[in-house]
Structure 1
Amino acid sequence: MKSSITILVMLMLFVSCKEESTTKIHKYYDLKIAITNQISVLDKRKPTFSKTVWSENVPETKNVKIEDWSKEFELFLQTDLNKPAYLNSYEINQSDSSIVYQLKKSENLPVKDIKILLKNNQLTAMEATIANQNYLYETDKHVKMTLADNAVNYYLIEGTQKLVFGDKKAFKIEAKLIK
């Protein structure tokens, strides 16, 4: 009898526990979802890109099939503004075909600005600036992507990095869809 009461009490506690809502309020355009969707599309299609990587200002171009799009688009995913710490940190200039987010002068966050182009509420292009600075390093990155037929057909990742005891180094990756 005692064990059945214990089970009954535990069952009541379990049923009465309210599940915490995981709904997230999105004040800004959901680039994380848009880019994650593109990662899925590219993983399925396995397209070939002409990819040029500049190392010490010397370009090297290869035709490649990217194996890990999540890793390739890691910097694009960092442009997600729908984080609690970013709430109310950006000025918004919006029209039917574009959204521009500009970090407010009073804020100090890595994503400095984002420009999003839309057609029929679908992402057609985006570009963003991400910059970090602390006592060990300084980075400045610019990312850009364009889409055609709801799939990425071009992307650019470029920037500079300077370590406290080193020279500023530039990097650039540019890729164009071949097929």
Structure 2
Amino acid sequence: MKSSITILAIFTLFISCKEESTTKINKYFDLKTSITNQINVLNKEKPTFSKTVWSDNTPETKDVKIEDWSKELELFLQTDLNKPAYLNSYEINQSDSLIVYHLKKSENLPVNNIKILLKNNQLTAMEATIANQNYLYETDKHVKMTLVDNVVNYYLIEGTQKLVFGDKKAFKIEAKVKK
């Protein structure tokens, strides 16, 4: 009998810990949900974008219907600050329509800063700087997105990448919805 009570107590403790760990508290603006919602809308509506890709400073522009928006906007998802490791890592400056997050000097995380514009508590624009560095490579990325009528109408992804045994290479992708 004593062993079954012990097992029941351990099981109850396990369940209560599991429930507690799945509760997510968002200290920062929930960009992940906003961008995931945009991905769902764009995958459903399949708008045509005029997309320009710069390679070696030479632009190439095409009208495209993007098939996989989660892949296209992956860098935007990486700006999610609501991760346990990021909890107290950012300074916050906020007004009714603007939120700015800056990485504290004492922290070493990939997202350096984010600027979020809101209208009626809805995302209308965002931009962020992401940087990663280790002994093999160094990257520096800037992403920007604007929304009209709660749907993405423009985005920019640009930056540089340098491998340890190579030159620094710049990249830029800019896309605007076709009217």
TM-score, normalised by the number of residues in structure 1: 0.91
**1:41 alignment partner in structure 2:** 41
Distance, in Å, in 2 between the alignment partners of 1:96 and 1:156 is: 25
Q: Give RMSD over aligned pairs.
A: 1.7
**1:67 alignment partner in structure 2:** 67
Is 1:177 the counterpart of 2:177? The answer is yes
Distance, in Å, in 2 between the alignment partners of 1:69 and 1:47 is: 11
- Give the Å deviation of 1:23: 1.3
Q: Write the deviation string for residues 38-96 of structure 1: whole angstroms up to 9, x where unpaired.
A: 00010111100000000010000000000000000010000000011101100000000
- Give the Å deviation of 1:160: 0.1
Aligned length: 170
Is 1:32 the counterpart of 2:55? The answer is no
Unpaired runs of at least 5, structure 1: 1-8
- Give the Å deviation of 1:150: 0.4
What one-letter code is carried by the residue in structure 2 that aligns with 1:70? S
SS in 1 for 2:99: strand
What one-letter code is carried by the residue in structure 2 that aligns with 1:110? P
- Give the Å deviation of 1:151: 0.2
Q: Percent identity?
A: 84
**2:58 alignment partner in structure 1:** 58
Distance, in Å, in 2 between the alignment partners of 1:46 and 1:74 is: 17
Distance, in Å, in 1 between the alignment partners of 2:69 and 2:82 is: 21
**1:3 alignment partner in structure 2:** none
Distance, in Å, in 2 between the alignment partners of 1:160 and 1:43 is: 28
What one-letter code is carried by the residue in structure 2 that aligns with 1:117? L
- Give the Å deviation of 1:134: 1.0
SS in 1 for 2:156: strand
Give runs of aligned pairs for residues 79-94 of structure 1, distance below 5 A. 79-94=79-94
Q: Write the deviation string for residues 114-162 of structure 1: whole angstroms up to 9, x where unpaired.
A: 0000000000000000001111111000000000000000000000000
What one-letter code is carried by the residue in structure 2 that aligns with 1:156? L
Distance, in Å, in 1 between the alignment partners of 2:93 and 2:71 is: 30
What one-letter code is carried by the residue in structure 1 that aligns with 2:131? A
**2:144 alignment partner in structure 1:** 144
Distance, in Å, in 1 between the alignment partners of 2:160 and 2:170 is: 4
Distance, in Å, in 1 between the alignment partners of 2:96 and 2:103 is: 21
Give runs of aligned pairs for residues 96-175 of structure 1, distance below 5 A. 96-175=96-175
What one-letter code is carried by the residue in structure 1 that aligns with 2:127? E
Distance, in Å, in 1 between the alignment partners of 2:70 and 2:27 is: 24
